[in-house]
């Protein structure tokens, strides 16, 4: 049984000048910014609901509306001006999205699907119920719950906030009840997970349209440091053929079963026993930034095509090897953009800056390099990273 | 002796938030629009001096200033808010640009170079003086001048407005004095040129920075219909090796000798006797749109790098074959964007819409296809064209 909503028949048809639809994105971060870049080529101009005029996307788009993404009034007024509304993040409350849907507004992904990207407990329970391999988990409220979980699964245990976490925030690895005390006392809704003995992390990124058309990019390796993705390598090097097939199939199956519309990124643990699903994101995702240069259709254009129910684009790679390295604000508070000229001097480096103020550890951009040798593209991407950020931020 | 201005030492340093410079582009057309797309990745936000809020670039950029590009007050006020000012077209009067330069503002290309893209008589005379092959030409004012020119070069004669022409406008092919009468009486400053027995048209696009760094993309074939470019094929098929080398060398030589900063497009006639220079454009150019998907660095990013005096990017191709087909508004006044979904269903088609109202013969967008077979990429690009515009607009 699928949760997928039926294709809408009676869409409101708010149309911009020139006969093309108005797409709105809630959230003014870098995902909106890069989606706007893709929208320009399609003849569209993304409308953005931003918190502030200095938001990443608000700096570069024409149709910026300031508002609070947790306010029904603000989001509703915004969505009423758009033919389709989509999201740059998962933080719009589910009941708010349901209200928009009840009004007949087109919102993708819909609230039914989006719940599994917003609530890790709902996601784990749903996936386990479908027989999809996930780490051992338990929703917990008390020290006693945690003790029972650790008794069966061993220490350390990974505690996760059920909602609201990102980039390592909302995740705590605890070695004992004592270490967990503060988190348990914080009142945050929690999920306990086994510490998976993983070989590495992968991501399978796909897109699906309301009509049900779906397309997958090749599986990538994601390199994490302190819970933040620092590098993405496409395709994932030395991935066994069975996993290279199984991972996109798994992601496409989830997109269909959950009724996702737009881009779905499935973060995966590769273990000696196969793949486990770590997280889901229902929007363009850091693990798909490489597609801007490295694939025939970028995840940003594909997300637009999907939410508009237009034909999806070709997901073939344009190069044998692609490396994307994230740029995190250096610990000394300096701004890597001061070193841009040095980085541009490195051959074949495509920089992407998000227009965000540099703060220690904050993702302010990324660089991508494409080429014919995996070692060479990674080497050049890290050289550009080092020229911009310095070696202190090096991931591997 | 070169007209090249010396690299400026004392630039005004108007800087946007985040430590990056503000680049302004005068003109709100599709070249500004696509330059803004490239600016976003570099962490910049293009500031645009547009005629109207519905201009192509004004629809998608944040920093839009409305003003008249022929008004010194308007352009000066705009340029004072930018670290570097550049152009989407050639229609800003030279004396106005000189005034900005006298004030110490950074304007690229500079007035000295830009004159040769603004005034065809100045360009022809300068190139002929340098020994660069050009069609036989003569500035003419009277029927007697034209008669003399035709006596030596034969009819038909090509008459061109010295300034202000584009896309076939400002060009008249006349077979007799009688046919030339209206144009001669119009008071337009005119140039007569021989009708060159050409094999086909080519374009060599290069970029040059104030520091003097320069880079060339491969030579392309441009297919014209009624004086408008309808298709660009990269690389130019079956181009003899000596011309494939000579054309970029010629363009790089011109960029240096004329002191061009930014992109320089050199339109060329290929004849049985070799190459002749047709026109110069000192900005991103229709014959370089293929670089968005087809080259490691697009002409739009390169133009920004050049005017900022940043290191130029890699001009290697990403594919063996690239075809770009322009989309001109159909004769029946319909809007091709109504057919977008059909075109997106054709494999590997990258559409680019300029946000411009469809009018018969007006360039409102282009499609690009990359691939491993020249025949296949042209076929798919024309299929997309036909799906959008209909076969009536077919170029070949």
What would the 3-class secondary structure string for B12-29 be? CCCECHHHCECEEEECCC
- Percentage with pLDDT > 70 across chain B: 94
Strand ranges (DSSP E) for chain A?
A: 23-26, 47-50, 63-66, 84-87, 137-140, 157-161, 171-174, 190-194, 198-208, 214-216, 220-225, 228-234, 262-271, 274-281, 321-328, 349-353, 363-371
**Given A33, A41, A358, which is nearest B352 (Cβ)?**
A41
Q: Residue A246: pLDDT above 80?
A: yes
pLDDT the model gives residue A111? 97
- Percentage with pLDDT > 90 across chain A: 87
Separation CA A319–CA A381 (nearest Å): 15
Q: From the CA atom positions of chain B, what is the Rg in Å?
A: 21
Tokens read off for A23: 């797409």
Separation CA A219–CA A247 (nearest Å): 7
Q: From the CA atom positions of chain A, what is the Rg in Å?
A: 21
Q: What is the mean pLDDT of residues B26-47?
A: 96
Q: What is the mean pLDDT of residues B208-231?
A: 95
| Cross-chain Cβ contact B40/A54 below 8 Å | no
Per residue in A159-192, pLDDT (tens digit) is: 999 998 777 789 999 999 999 999 999 989 999 9
Separation CA B291–CA B289 (nearest Å): 5
**Given B33, B54, B351, which is nearest A42 (Cβ)?**
B351
| Helix and strand totals (H; E) in chain A | 12, 17
Tokens read off for B384: 């997309």
pLDDT the model gives residue B392? 62
| Cross-chain Cβ contact A337/B41 below 8 Å | no
CATH of B198-393 among 3.90.580.10, 1.20.1250.20, 3.40.50.970, 3.30.470.20: 3.30.470.20
Q: Residue A17: pLDDT above 60?
A: no
| Cross-chain Cβ contact A45/B352 below 8 Å | no
Strand ranges (DSSP E) for A121-209?
A: 137-140, 157-161, 171-174, 190-194, 198-208
pLDDT the model gives residue A8? 39
- Would you say how long chain B is, in residues? 396
Per residue in A196-231, pLDDT (tens digit) is: 999 999 999 999 999 999 999 999 999 999 889 999
Q: Residue A72: pLDDT above 60?
A: yes
**Given A60, A340, A358, which is nearest B62 (Cβ)?**
A60
Instruction: Give the chain B residue nearest A315 (alpha carbons).
Output: B348
Given this chain, do its domains B17-118 and B198-393 carry the same CATH topology? Answer: no
Per residue in A122-131, pLDDT (tens digit) is: 999 999 999 9
Q: Spelled out in words, what is the top-level CATH class assigned to the domain A320-396?
A: alpha beta
pLDDT the model gives residue A294? 96
Lowest mean pLDDT among A204-208, A259-263, B339-343: B339-343
Local confidence band at A394 (pLDDT 50, 70, 90 cut-offs): low
Lowest mean pLDDT among A16-20, A109-113, B172-176, B236-240: A16-20
Local confidence band at A368 (pLDDT 50, 70, 90 cut-offs): very high
Domain ranges of chain A: 17-118, 136-194, 320-396
Smallest Cα distance from A315 to chain B, Å: 9
* Best A25, A66, A308, A344 residue to mutate vs chain B (most B CBs within 10 Å): A344
Question: What three-state secondary structure class fits B4?
Answer: coil
CA B266 to chain centre: 9
| Cross-chain Cβ contact A45/B60 below 8 Å | yes
Domain B17-118 has CATH 3.40.50.20: yes
**Given B43, B305, B337, which is nearest A365 (Cβ)?**
B43
pLDDT the model gives residue A19? 65
Show residues of chain B in contact with A39, CB under 8 Å. 60
- Percentage with pLDDT > 70 across chain A: 94
Q: What is the mean pLDDT of residues A73-97?
A: 97
Q: What is the mean pLDDT of residues A139-146?
A: 96
What's the pTM? 0.93
Average pLDDT over chain A, rounded to whole? 92
pLDDT top residue among B168 and A161: A161
Show residues of chain A in contact with B345, CB under 8 Å. 311
Q: What is the mean pLDDT of residues A238-266?
A: 97
Smallest Cα distance from B159 to chain A, Å: 36
pLDDT the model gives residue B390? 87
Q: Residue A3: pLDDT above 50?
A: no
Say which CATH superfamily domain A136-194 falls into.
ATP-grasp fold, A domain (3.30.1490.20)
Instruction: Give the chain A residue nearest B15 (alpha carbons).
Output: A338
């Amino acid at each position: 049984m699928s949760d997928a909503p039926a294709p809408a028949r009676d869409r409101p048809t708010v149309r911009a000048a020139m006969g093309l639809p108005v797409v709105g994105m809630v959230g003014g971060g870098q995902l909106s910014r890069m989606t706007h870049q893709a929208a320009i080529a399609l003849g569209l101009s993304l409308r953005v609901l931003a918190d502030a005029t200095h938001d990443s996307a608000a700096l570069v788009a024409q149709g910026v509306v300031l508002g609070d993404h947790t306010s029904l009034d603000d989001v509703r007024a915004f969505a009423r001006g758009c033919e389709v509304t989509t999201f740059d993040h998962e933080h719009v409350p589910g009941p708010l999205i349901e209200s928009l849907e009840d009004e007949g507004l087109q919102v993708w992904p819909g609230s039914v699907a989006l719940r599994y990207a917003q609530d890790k407990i709902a996601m784990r329970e749903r996936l386990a119920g479908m027989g999809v391999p996930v780490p051992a988990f338990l929703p917990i409220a008390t020290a006693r719950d945690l003790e029972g979980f650790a008794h069966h699964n061993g220490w350390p245990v990974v505690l996760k906030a059920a909602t609201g976490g990102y980039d390592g925030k909302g995740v705590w690895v605890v070695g004992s009840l004592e270490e967990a005390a503060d988190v348990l006392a914080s009142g945050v809704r929690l999920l306990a997970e086994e510490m998976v003995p993983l070989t590495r992390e992968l991501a399978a990124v796909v897109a699906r349209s309301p009509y049900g058309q779906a397309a997958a990019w090749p599986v990538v390796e994601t390199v994490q440091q302190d819970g933040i993705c620092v590098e993405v390598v496409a395709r994932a090097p030395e991935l066994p053929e069975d996993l290279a097939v199984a991972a996109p199939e798994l992601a496409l199956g989830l997109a269909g079963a959950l009724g996702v519309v737009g881009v779905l990124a499935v973060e995966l643990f590769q273990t000696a026993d196969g793949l486990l699903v770590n997280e889901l994101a229902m929007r363009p995702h850091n693990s798909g930034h490489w597609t801007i240069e490295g694939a025939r259709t970028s995840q940003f254009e594909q997300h637009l095509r999907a939410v508009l129910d237009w034909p999806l684009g070709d997901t073939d790679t344009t190069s044998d090897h692609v490396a994307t390295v994230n740029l995190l604000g250096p610990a000394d508070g300096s701004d890597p953009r001061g070193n841009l000229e040095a980085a541009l001097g490195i051959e074949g480096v495509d920089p992407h800056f998000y227009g965000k103020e540099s703060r220690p550890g904050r993702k302010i951009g990324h660089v991508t390099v494409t080429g014919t040798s995996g070692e060479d593209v990674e080497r050049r991407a890290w050289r550009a990273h080092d020229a911009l950020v310095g070696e202190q931020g090096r991931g591997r």
